[in-house]
Chains A and B, each alone.
Chain A
Amino acid sequence: MTTGGAIDRTSRADAVAALAGHLVGALGEGVPTRLADFLDSCADGVAGLWAVRLVGADAFAPHLLAGRPLEGRDAAVVSDAFEAFPPVQQPVTHQQCVLAHRDQATAELLVRLTDGRCAPPGTVEVWENREASAHLGTSPVDALLGPAEQWARWSVAVAQLSPLALPGLDGPVFEAVAGAPLALARGTTRAVLRRDYATAARLVRWVALLADRVPLDAALLVEHLRLHAGADARLLLDLAIAERVLAAEPVSSRPALPAPTPPVPSAPTAVVHDVASRAMAWLHAHHELGAFTDTATADLDDPNSVYKPLCEVALASAFVLREGVAGAAQLRHARELLDFSWEQMRRGDLLYERQLRHALLTDPVETYASFARSGYRHAALERVAAHSSAADAVNEVVPNRRLAVANAHRVVGIPRDDDWDALTAATWLGREPEPWVIDWYTGYCATHTVFHLTDWGARPEGLPAGTARYLDAWLPVWIDVWTEARQWDLVGELLLVGACLPEPRIEAAEWAPFAAAQHEDGLVPRDGEPVSDDPRTRFLDHQHTAVVATAAGTLALSRLLAG
């Protein structure tokens, strides 16, 4: 109830929920829209008017989308709401500007639906009023939304203007959103991945309205949100409107991605070099912690405990030597780490014995590729590997790992008749799914698909054009989402993917948080959890991320220097 002049918070929430439910019913079940009846049903009439003001133009969604007539009493309710809660006459703040744009949309529809007989009092013509933000030197809409290139911030503002995502509400807001379909798609994908379903539902209304040009499957997206929406009435109203919009103008297939427009690499060379050299120095300083504690044989109890980290250190070191852009200290570290790892592998004998004993295992050749690339060869291992390959002795692995096997053989020089196109098509990335269906684990699958197709960035042309275009569109979203979640290991891999692209993506804004996460001693934490003080635990927990940081920084530096 309204007490002492102010509306009780519960009354407001109840009224908004009731109104949203009323409108959903009118959209979906043919229930007549009666704003006046809704207001009469409110225990607190002022709260009811407040709710009408809040939903704004959405109050007319049943009239626009379901053909319901707007009766005079209902039009009067909207006018009353504007009288009770007057429009801002000189919008300055962001909130005031959002309200002013929403008010103008409401006013336009009220005039249109009543054939000019009714107009809310006091609305400001923000769409035409250039003085509203003349001090900013830009149009009111541009000032409100900001540049579409900053799609994360831009899309939040677009979500706040979701009541304008109704058919026929043309104007500068519609034009601005319609002119940036990729920014809208990225912002929507980001909201879904953040599981911010309220924002996602607001954005999906724009996606539905622009379904012929936004490179997302709008119907799938709406259904996804409905499955996760819960019972929030306003969210359900957004989805009901989106469904009605889609039903009115169905789109048969997902629009194509726009032509790639990757930004000019902007990360300073000093930043990426610093990340890589300090990560490698940290690996070098602690590498003895990654040694076998006993005599390893071909039959490893736990390949992940020592063997895998040694392989990864070799990979990072081979990266540094291959690219040849590191300073003298980093080159020395790389060579010494390769020597160390090679000795741990008993100068290749361990790999040879493992391949000989377990012909179908793929890790010996995959590991050996890093050494072979750097000049560490083992003739007997190559003979066994060639024999295994000729017999097609490869165990069943997930599709992106099958690419790893193909690339390792390519690097070592062992012939295979791999169908790269077919192998790529079988991967998650190769299928180019909706970008919001990715999860943490699949993120790694996607990064590795790129690594193997491009031979860890040495052959950017190995990435199919469609895959490159797909990554150009969605990589920024995934980096943003997992940066916010401080998943530095995955972020590092995604940054490495950016450096592997034919048109490399090496953005200063994306590298800065990753570089900032690096500790003074060069450790790069795998995530935002506390880092142990125990030296061995520190090394084992974060060794992989140091490898990723070394590789990503090295390749990024190489691509930056290559221009």
Chain B
Amino acid sequence: MTWDQVLELIKSILLTQTGVPNLAIGQVIMILISFFFLYLAVAKEYEPLLLVPIGFGIFLVNFPLAPLMGFTEHGDPELIRAFYKYGVQWEIIPCLIFLGLGAMTDFGPLIANPKTLIIGAGAQIGVFITYCGTLFFGFTLKEAASVAIIGGADGPTTIYLTAMLAPQLLGPNALAAYSYMAMVPLIQPPIMRLMTTPEQRRIKMRQLRPVSAKEKLLFPLIASIFIILLIPAVAPLMGMFMFGNFMRECGVVKRLSDTAQNAMMNIVTILLGLSVGATMQADVFLSWKPMLIFGFGLLDFIICTFGGILTVHIMNLFLKEKMNPLIGSAGVSAVPMAARVSQVEGQKADPDNWLIMHAMGPNLAGVIGSASAAGMFIAMFK
């Protein structure tokens, strides 16, 4: 073998088998973006459970020639592509997350005060307003729906709907949804103060009635009957949610409930985060679209908060026992962060006012409301 041949071989190896000569500026930018999200997750502890795998997914997938998100010569998916294909594209992981969420959720506050369901519906106004706004900016109908659902502040619902309607926007949508969910304590309080008077913030609500175990057990069945009969398109999400809750409340399958709440939830969160992060490759992400999605997502969130509080104001016109309008902001889901924000703001007005359990009602209604909105969109584009 001559020196020329050796040099040619080295050159060939460098060009085709190492990433360095293939590294593009866009990929470097994406790796820096991944550092930013990892920083937010690790140093600031903002939604670390999701932002760590998402950030690491962005980091990994932007290395050139890395066999992660492509297909092999035989057409088989590479590692993270396989997670994405079977988990997200087949719409399995968001439903499993809903199963785990159902197993974690205590519907007691919502059952004790069913009126708060209306707040969950009112808070979805941002979803529909943003939908119109994005259409005006040239998004297609399906893309607009997937961006609009960000305001519902429900990560799995956003991912489910986006994977179904506009998979090309999955990364930015999921990232926007989880980022803004993490920023609920920052986004909501100024709007809450703007829309309420100090007197309204001091309204004390009557203690919720105790809810029997039987009622809690029957709730997932009753809710499934009503919701799935009226919006069949939402059956995968709502069915899993209520199934998880039924396992929790029936008390005879503690092992299954425990697995759904912990082990399974953790596994699917890892797979979901990596898959979503891996969709953010430089050639897809670095465009105007994600920037606009972040802008619209924020606007959406603000309008949803506004919608929830406004709904309480309207309801108070007809109610004998007034509700504290601060619980309206919890109508965006973001469980339980949004309810905690209501509690904190309520206590700022009156340290002896305990709103958290009252705010959990609209908070849970928000989960049902955003899933219903997703179902409406799915039915619309069926």
Q: Do A and B come from one complex?
A: no
A interface list, Cβ under 8 A from B: none
